[in-house]
């Protein structure tokens, strides 16, 4: 069972031209801690959708690599929320099994 991190090692996320979305392929699948995450990247604009557990509200993080600004549920944030965003991205990449994911790349 390959982890997502093994497949993403060759992708340079500092490349602002990378575009794609990585998400769990089914509503029934969760990460090991019971959470769900989807990550979209387009021209340095990152959108991370996070649900801590079944029935919990979704949190939407938006990060712009160009300006280094982050928003949580459309409100500008910094500090603790930025650290949470980074932690969630790292957890997703380290924990997601490739067979549980769908990757959508533009044509």
- The SS3 call for residue 67 is coil
Q: What residue ranges do the domains of the chain occupy? A: 4-104
Residues in CB range of 82: below 8 A, 6 or more apart: 70
3-state SS class at 66? coil
Choose from 4-18, 41-55, 92-106 the range with maximum mean pLDDT.
41-55
The string of pLDDT tens digits covering residues 11-45 is: 555 555 667 888 999 989 999 999 999 999 888 88
Local structure of residue 74 (DSSP, 8 states): T
The better pLDDT of the pair 62, 98 is held by 62
| Whether pLDDT at 1 is above 50 | no
- By CB atoms closer than 10 A (0-12, 13-18, 19+), residue 42 is middle
């Amino acid at each position: 069972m390959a982890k997502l991190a093994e497949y993403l090692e060759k992708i340079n996320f500092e490349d602002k031209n990378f575009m794609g979305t990585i998400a769990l392929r089914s509503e029934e699948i969760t990460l090991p801690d019971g959470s769900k995450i989807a990550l979209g990247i387009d021209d340095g604009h990152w959108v991370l959708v996070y649900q801590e557990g079944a029935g919990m509200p979704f949190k939407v993080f938006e990060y712009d690599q160009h300006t280094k600004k982050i928003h949580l549920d459309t409100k500008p944030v910094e500090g603790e929320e930025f650290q949470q965003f980074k932690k969630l991205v790292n957890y997703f990449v380290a924990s997601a099994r490739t067979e549980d994911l769908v990757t959508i790349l533009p044509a």
